[in-house]
């Protein structure tokens, strides 16, 4: 008795115990769902020991969390009326009193730096002494701010457009925790909405903590939508093919349990829900339904042949079980290759996806035969779909093409490959932090507003190590920093920089009685006078702490980037590096660029290498599976061609359509390859069986394999096509691209496996169909007696 016969007997004899075990394990995994955590940080795509991460962690150690700023802005001329102006400043003070806030800076909080000649020190005075009660008083404050305090330009106001803003510094301890979400949704957003309603003013909100929170909520909202749509569409297609409520309900039960398991495994492993991880539950539905198609189709075929339920169920397990196991293993392998990359994000995605693909196979193999064992035999109307004429016409057309038009098939293939190769050279790499965010959402429109008004919201940090204590405040260092500042200001994709320079320049302005013309670096003589004033003063130490460390050795220059891709960022980085190398001698200074946005951009470039690694691994693993099953090197080569061909077409389309390589789209190739090779396995396994049954007559075997596997391959490909197409309704650009590209790739893969593969087998018959193909494979995945095991 072979292994699968024993498995079938065990399943059918122990069906009550198995159902109890499945129920118990499902309950256990459902309890693990409480441990699912949503990501509160940007996705770090680089390994921990990468130099970019080392530089970033060093920066965080010296200056603390950089991405803790939330910005509120108003562009409305009526804000400069007493009622609204005072309310705006009161809003800032109310927020400042909250425990989640370190401090806020608004127009009402501004303290002017003033020289006290008698005591030779700087003191601070408020911008205004009492609340303005007339429009004239408000405009006088506006004039003082806009015309006499350049220190706050591009920080609290935009002089050209009249926009003013408040800056909220979140408590650094809550920035990367769930408390941030609670604060934004339960405190900040309701407060802003009330203010907007009370004063009829539109407040713009941004900053990395706010963007990440709103984006994460979007991911949460879409998980449920994806699961519902995937269930609905696959069930609809399944019912269209089978016309059986019973079969559809059983399939939905299997994939629903699979979804619970998917969420449960995420919780069990304590992984965070990211944009990628959110795709797994609907992915399990899309991949799980084809398993049900093969199993239920086989059961109905067997019932139609002999009407013996026990025999039919046993054959479902023994004949289809092994074939679907191998196809699920190859699909899981496509995902599992991400485990071998050095990106933690992809490792987690690959781990959960591959485990759940194998889990949904086990669920289908156990649940479908067991449930059918409790049910009466299918009625005649449930078996009518096995004789559909329109499917027969499609298969007949494919056979005709393979039989009569092979030259045309090869010509079209070569043309498509050439056109695709040209398209591949047009592909760009994108590492934008916000490119994939939902563009229709209010928070995305606010991002664009802040880019236009203040030059961006994604921080780019430059950290300067002077290699000695108090080295930052030397005039030589400050002048070098000013040269770097000038270069930053010349780059339109970057905002005006903020650093200790601003404070030093403001100190000179205060020394000269607040005259704005003196907002500049002091000369060596002035520096000594100003330094004496500074030493006697405690003014502005709070701001100084943000830009110089406690020893005076390290300084930071902060600028903000617009939404730019990696290509533009590389140009900007090279330009800044050239200036750094010119102005900061390596023997005296260590200067590095960092910041969360730069880490993300670098991570995207790093992922391109991971794409090559994961795809190469997928091809290698699947080639090994082919060798394991067929023990024929020639068959391995012939099987890879129709599966690599669709990947070339997809890559070419990406180039022509302007879809860049980015963290979301790099998944397309390994996923699509792992799934599309399933069709190849089904076809070649049937072909091998037909060769044995037809005494090595090649043409007859190819046509028989095409007729008998064509229907199931068509069914499953349609389910997969529409299943992945579900992702195109996402509001995330990357998810839309992923869904559309995988759908297209699988469609091309179906055509390639049903037309190109048999054409190659016929054209190369003498070289391929040798006795080595007839060797007994390690796994006999189809009936040795020649019965149709997948479809009829």
Summarize pLDDT for 118-161 with one digit per residue, the tens: 888 888 888 888 889 999 999 999 999 999 999 888 888 998 89
Q: How confident is the model at residue 365 (pLDDT cuts 50, 70, 90)?
A: very high
Q: How confident is the model at residue 536 (pLDDT cuts 50, 70, 90)?
A: low
Which region holds residue 249: left if phi is over 0, alpha if psi is between -120 and 50, else beta? alpha
Mean of the pLDDT values across residues 522-542?
72
Mean of the pLDDT values across residues 559-563?
84
Rounded Cα gap, residues 364 and 289, in angstroms: 9
SS3 letters for 712-773? HHHHHHHHHHHHHHHHHHCCCHHHHHHHHHHHHHHHHHHHHHHHHHHHHHHHCHHHHCCHHH
H or E segment at 45? none
666-694: b (≥16 Cβ within 10 Å) or e? bbbbbbbbbbbbbbbbbbbbbbbbbbebe
- Residue keyed to tokens 């569409």: 233
| CA terminus-to-terminus distance, the chain | 26
User: What's the count of helices (H) and strands (E) in the chain, helices before strands?
Assistant: 28, 12
Q: How confident is the model at residue 295 (pLDDT cuts 50, 70, 90)?
A: confident
Rounded Cα gap, residues 253 and 412, in angstroms: 43
H or E segment at 673? helix 667-693
Give the alpha-carbon dihedral of 594, 599, 604, 606, to 10 degrees.
Answer: 80
| 103 close to 96: Cβ distance less than 8 angstroms | yes
Give the number of other CB atoms < 10 A from CB of residue 490.
10
Rounded Cα gap, residues 188 and 79, in angstroms: 20
258-279: b (≥16 Cβ within 10 Å) or e? bbbbbbbbbbbeebbbbbbbbb
Rounded Cα gap, residues 163 and 337, in angstroms: 50
Closest C-alpha to 559, from 476, 503, 506, 492: 492
pLDDT over 80 at 105, yes or no: yes
pLDDT over 70 at 544, yes or no: no
CA dihedral sign, ordered 743, 748, 749, 751: positive
Task: Point out the least confidently predicted range of 301-310, 328-337, 462-471, 772-781.
Answer: 772-781
Tokens of 231: 């269930």
Burial of 379 (0-12, 13-18, 19+ CB in 10 A): exposed
Q: How confident is the model at residue 414 (pLDDT cuts 50, 70, 90)?
A: very high
* Residues ≥6 apart with Cβ < 8 Å to 359: 258, 261, 265
Average pLDDT, the chain: 84
Summarize pLDDT for 229-254 with one digit per residue, the tens: 888 888 888 888 777 888 889 999 99
pLDDT over 60 at 432, yes or no: yes
Closest C-alpha to 62, from 552, 614, 676: 552
Question: What pLDDT is attached to residue 30?
Answer: 94
- For the chain, domains (ranges, CATH) are 3-42+213-425+600-774 (1.20.1640.10), 68-206 (3.30.70), 442-594 (no CATH)
Q: What is the pTM of this model?
A: 0.77
Give the number of other CB atoms < 10 A from CB of residue 310.
9
Tokens of 759: 């054409």
The three-class DSSP label of residue 225 is: helix
Question: What pLDDT is attached to residue 765?
Answer: 64
CA dihedral sign, ordered 475, 478, 484, 490: negative
Question: What pLDDT is attached to residue 346?
Answer: 80
Give strand pairing partners of 112. 125
Give the number of other CB atoms < 10 A from CB of residue 83.
12
| 115 close to 510: Cβ distance less than 8 angstroms | yes
Rounded Cα gap, residues 170 and 96, in angstroms: 10
Question: What pLDDT is attached to residue 657?
Answer: 87
Mean of the pLDDT values across residues 594-615?
76
Question: What pLDDT is attached to residue 168?
Answer: 92
Rounded Cα gap, residues 555 and 464, in angstroms: 5
Rounded Cα gap, residues 386 and 310, in angstroms: 21
Mean of the pLDDT values across residues 52-59?
87
Rounded Cα gap, residues 178 and 175, in angstroms: 8
Rounded Cα gap, residues 541 and 289, in angstroms: 64
Burial of 192 (0-12, 13-18, 19+ CB in 10 A): middle
The three-class DSSP label of residue 232 is: helix
The DSSP result for 350-395, as a single string, is: HHHHHHHHHHHHHHHHHHHHHHHHTSPPPPGGGGGGGG-HHHHHHH
Question: What pLDDT is attached to residue 195?
Answer: 94
Question: What pLDDT is attached to residue 629?
Answer: 67
Rounded Cα gap, residues 702 and 697, in angstroms: 9
CA 507 distance to own-chain centroid: 46
Query: Angle between the 344-373 and 280-306 helix axes, to the nearest 10 degrees?
Result: 30
Report strand pairing: 69-74 vs 204-206: antiparallel
Considering the chain, what percentage of its residues have pLDDT values greater than 90?
28
Rounded Cα gap, residues 433 and 662, in angstroms: 10
Tokens of 756: 């190109």
- Residue keyed to tokens 């002494």: 129
Summarize pLDDT for 734-791 with one digit per residue, the tens: 778 888 888 998 889 988 988 998 988 888 766 655 544 445 444 444 443 334 433 3
Q: How confident is the model at residue 542 (pLDDT cuts 50, 70, 90)?
A: low
Summarize pLDDT for 6-50 with one digit per residue, the tens: 888 898 899 999 999 999 999 999 999 988 877 666 666 777 788
Question: What pLDDT is attached to residue 564?
Answer: 76
CA angle 413, 419, 422 (to 5 degrees): 140
Mean of the pLDDT values across residues 110-121?
84
Question: What pLDDT is attached to residue 658?
Answer: 85
Backbone angles phi, psi at 465, to 5 degrees: -100, 110
Task: Point out the least confidently predicted range of 64-78, 442-456, 599-613.
Answer: 599-613
Closest C-alpha to 290, from 254, 264, 260: 254
Report strand pairing: 272-273 vs 37-38: parallel
* Residues ≥6 apart with Cβ < 8 Å to 782: 319, 323, 685, 686, 688, 689, 789
Question: What pLDDT is attached to residue 697?
Answer: 78
| 268 close to 35: Cβ distance less than 8 angstroms | yes
Question: What pLDDT is attached to residue 41?
Answer: 64
Rounded Cα gap, residues 2 and 589, in angstroms: 73
| 684 close to 639: Cβ distance less than 8 angstroms | yes
pLDDT over 90 at 371, yes or no: yes
Rounded Cα gap, residues 775 and 38, in angstroms: 51
Mean of the pLDDT values across residues 547-566?
86
């Amino acid at each position: 008795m072979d292994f699968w016969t024993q498995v079938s007997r065990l399943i059918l004899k122990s069906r009550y115990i198995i159902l109890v075990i499945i129920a118990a394990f499902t309950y256990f995994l459902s309890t693990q769902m409480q441990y699912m955590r949503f990501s509160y940080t940007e996705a770090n795509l680089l390994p921990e020991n990468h130099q970019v991460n080392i530089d970033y962690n060093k920066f965080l150690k010296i200056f603390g969390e950089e991405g803790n700023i939330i910005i509120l802005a108003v562009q409305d001329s009526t804000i400069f009326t007493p009622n609204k102006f005072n309310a705006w400043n009161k809003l800032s003070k109310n927020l400042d009193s909250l425990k989640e806030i370190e401090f806020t800076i608004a127009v009402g909080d501004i303290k002017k730096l003033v020289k006290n000649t008698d005591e030779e020190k700087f003191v601070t005075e408020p911008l205004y002494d009492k609340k303005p009660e007339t429009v004239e008083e408000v405009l006088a404050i506006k004039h003082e701010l806009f015309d006499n305090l350049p220190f706050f330009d591009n920080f609290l106001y935009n002089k050209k457009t009249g926009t003013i803003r408040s800056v909220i510094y979140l408590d650094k301890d809550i920035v990367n925790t769930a408390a941030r979400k609670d604060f934004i949704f339960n405190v900040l957003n309701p407060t802003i909405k009330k203010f907007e309603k009370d004063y009829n003013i539109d407040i713009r909100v941004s900053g990395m903590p706010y963007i990440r929170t709103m984006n994460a909520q979007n991911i949460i909202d879409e998980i449920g939508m994806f699961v519902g749509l995937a269930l609905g569409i696959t069930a609809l297609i399944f019912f269209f093919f089978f016309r059986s409520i019973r079969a559809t309900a059983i399939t939905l039960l299997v994939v629903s349990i699979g979804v619970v398991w998917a969420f449960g495994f995420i919780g069990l492993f304590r992984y965070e829900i990211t944009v990628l991880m959110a795709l797994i539950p609907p992915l399990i539905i899309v991949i799980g339904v084809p398993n049900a198609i093969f199993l239920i189709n086989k059961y109905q075929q067997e019932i139609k042949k002999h009407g013996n339920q026990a025999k039919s169920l046993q054959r479902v397990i023994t004949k289809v079980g092994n074939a679907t196991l191998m196809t699920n293993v190859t699909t899981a392998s496509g995902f599992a290759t991400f485990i071998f990359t050095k990106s933690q994000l992809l490792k987690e995605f690959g781990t959960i996806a591959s485990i759940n693909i194998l889990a949904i196979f086990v669920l289908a193999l156990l649940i479908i035969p067991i449930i059918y064992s409790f049910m009466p035999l299918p009625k005649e109307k449930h078996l009518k779909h096995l004789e559909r004429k329109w499917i027969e016409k499609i298969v007949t057309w494919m056979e005709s093409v393979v039989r009569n038009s092979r030259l045309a098939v090869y010509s079209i293939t070569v043309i498509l490959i050439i056109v695709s190769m040209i398209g591949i050279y047009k592909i760009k790499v994108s590492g934008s932090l916000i490119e994939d965010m939902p563009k229709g959402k209010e928070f995305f429109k606010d991002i664009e507003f802040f880019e236009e008004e203040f030059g961006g919201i994604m921080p780019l940090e430059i950290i300067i190590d002077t290699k000695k204590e108090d080295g930052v405040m030397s005039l030589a260092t400050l002048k070098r920093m000013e040269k770097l500042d000038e270069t930053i200001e010349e780059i339109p994709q970057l905002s005006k920089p903020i650093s200790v320079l601003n404070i030093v320049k403001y100190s000179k302005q205060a020394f000269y009685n607040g005259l704005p013309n003196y907002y500049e670096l002091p000369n060596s003589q002035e520096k000594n006078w100003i330094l004496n004033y500074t030493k006697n003063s405690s003014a502005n130490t709070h701001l100084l702490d943000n830009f110089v460390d406690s020893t005076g050795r390290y300084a930071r220059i902060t600028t903000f980037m617009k939404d730019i891709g990696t290509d533009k960022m590389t140009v900007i980085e090279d330009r800044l590096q050239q200036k750094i190398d010119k102005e900061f001698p390596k023997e005296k200074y260590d200067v590095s660029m960092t910041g969360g946005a730069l880490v993300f951009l670098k991570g995207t470039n790093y992922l391109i290498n991971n794409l090559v690694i994961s795809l190469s691994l997928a091809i290698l693993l699947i080639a090994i599976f082919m060798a394991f099953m067929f023990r024929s090197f020639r068959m391995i080569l012939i099987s890879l061609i129709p599966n690599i061909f669709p990947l070339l077409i997809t890559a070419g389309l990406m180039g022509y359509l302007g879809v860049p390589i980015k963290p979301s789209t790099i998944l397309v190739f390994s996923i699509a390859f792992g799934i599309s090779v399933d069709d190849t396995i089904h076809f070649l396994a049937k072909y091998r069986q037909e060769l044995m049954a037809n005494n090595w007559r090649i043409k007859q075997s190819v046509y028989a394999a095409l007729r008998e596997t064509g229907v199931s391959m068509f069914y499953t490909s349609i389910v997969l096509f529409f299943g992945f197409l579900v992702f195109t309704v996402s509001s995330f650009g990357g998810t839309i691209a992923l869904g559309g590209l995988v759908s297209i790739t699988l469609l091309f893969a179906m055509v390639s496996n049903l037309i190109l593969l048999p054409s190659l087998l016929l054209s190369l018959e003498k070289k391929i169909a040798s006795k080595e193909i007839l060797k007994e494979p390690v796994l006999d995945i189809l009936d040795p007696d020649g019965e149709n095991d997948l479809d009829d």
